[in-house]
Amino acid sequence: MHIENVNLVIRNAVADDAETLCNWWNDGIVMAHAGFPAGLGTTPQKIVHDLAMDSDEDHRRLIIEHDMIPIGEMSYRNTGNRTVEIGIKICDFDKHEKGIGTKALKMLISCLFDEMDYEKIVIDTNLTNTRAQHVYEKIGFRKISINCNSWKNQVGEMQSSVEYELTRTEYLDNHNLTVHEEQ
């Protein structure tokens, strides 16, 4: 995958990204919302190995570049029945609250629906991550469930999550409404 929109690029993660991904994934501040407040404790070698297993059909890790600099990551995983689960993390905190994550999500969503022919996209986040929830809902995702105290993070603290979904029809209806309003 390679999607461009002005100064924003979403592309497949490759072996050359392993060091950057390792730095992000081992940073507990970056990984806290994902349940890893102490980081993953991974290595570039393991990441290179894992990236080699990625495929367009099953799952893919992606890099978000802004002005040609990696600032975050995305992923998608085919869960069957033309449904795909996605994730996003803006790892450069200086790029938060600038609309970059929203724009990147819209780019990925359009590609998954228009080019890869998925019918439904699901995403979840930590219940405390209200910034992500705001973005998902603004894009048109529907809240499906809240799972209270349903899992423990790596230091044993109970965590809650919220699950969202968006169908192709909902996205197209919302997109057409937005385009019509802009005209």
pLDDT tens for 57-95 read: 999 999 999 999 999 999 999 999 999 999 999 999 999
Q: Across residues 2-25, what is the average pLDDT?
A: 97
Q: Across residues 6-14, what is the average pLDDT?
A: 97
User: Tell me: the pLDDT tens digits for 153-163?
Assistant: 999 999 999 99
What is the pLDDT, as a whole number, of residue 173?
84
Give the count of beta carbons closer than 10 Å to the beta carbon of residue 125: 20
What is the pLDDT, as a whole number, of residue 182?
42
What is the pLDDT, as a whole number, of residue 33?
86
Whether 164 contacts 121, CB under 8 Å: no
Cα separations in angstroms, 123 against 40, 70, 96, 133, 141: 21, 22, 19, 10, 9
Residue 117: pLDDT band (50, 70, 90) is: very high
Residue 179 has pLDDT above 60, yes or no: no
3-state helix, strand, coil in the chain (%, to 5): 40, 35, 25
pTM (two decimals):
0.91
Q: CATH for 2-182, among 3.30.413.10, 3.40.50.261, 2.60.40.3120, 3.40.630.30?
A: 3.40.630.30
Residue 40: pLDDT band (50, 70, 90) is: very high
Query: What percent of the chain is predicted at pLDDT more than 70?
Result: 96
Residue 172: pLDDT band (50, 70, 90) is: confident
Residue 181: pLDDT band (50, 70, 90) is: very low
